[in-house]
Amino acid sequence: EVHLVESGGGLVQPGRSLRLSCAASGFSFDDYAMHWVRQAPGKGLEWVSSITWNGNSIGYADSVRGRFTISRDDAKNSLYLQMDSLRPEDTALYYCAKGRGGSSTSCLASWGQGTLVTVSS
């Protein structure tokens, strides 16, 4: 069974940094693209970033490009999101999701339960 567990969220001041982690189990992690999706309180879903199975192709939403960095460590079955220069509008529940295949352009087949990031002074 696929299991995704996010961690690293919390309360942070504007302009500071935070690193999210996602621990994966129950599947061959290095065969699949991975994604981060966020959901602001009471709002809809927003795709944030994705990385292909081999890490060769990475994509970001315009709203986070240049501030966030996605990475993966296949040896640790882990996905990361380094978030710098955080803004209040980055406040959201951040989900880690497994792609249906190795490409970034695949549906999000499995999701974690999310980690909450709150950006406020």
CB 17 → another protein: shortest distance, Å? 23
* φ and ψ of 27, to 5 deg: -155, 170
CB 24 → another protein: shortest distance, Å? 14
Taking alpha carbons only, the member of 76, 112, 110 closest to residue 96 is: 112
Q: Which amino acid is at 41?
A: P
**Edge-to-edge strand list for the sheet holding 3-7:** 3-7, 18-25, 78-83, 68-73
CB 104 → another protein: shortest distance, Å? 6
Q: Compare residues 86 and 97 and give the one whose CB is closer to another protein.
A: 97
1 binds another protein (CB under 8 A): no
Helix (H, G, I), strand (E, B) or coil at 56: coil
Binding mask 78-97 for another protein (x = CB under 8 A): -----------------x--
Residue 38 and residue 91: Cα distance in Å, rounded?
A: 9
Report residue 68 as tokens: 């966030």
**Span from 7-15, 19-27, 44-52, 73-81 in contact with another protein (CB under 8 A):** 44-52
Question: Can you give the binding site for another protein, defined by CB under 8 A?
Answer: 35, 37, 44-47, 50, 59-62, 95, 100, 104-109, 111-114
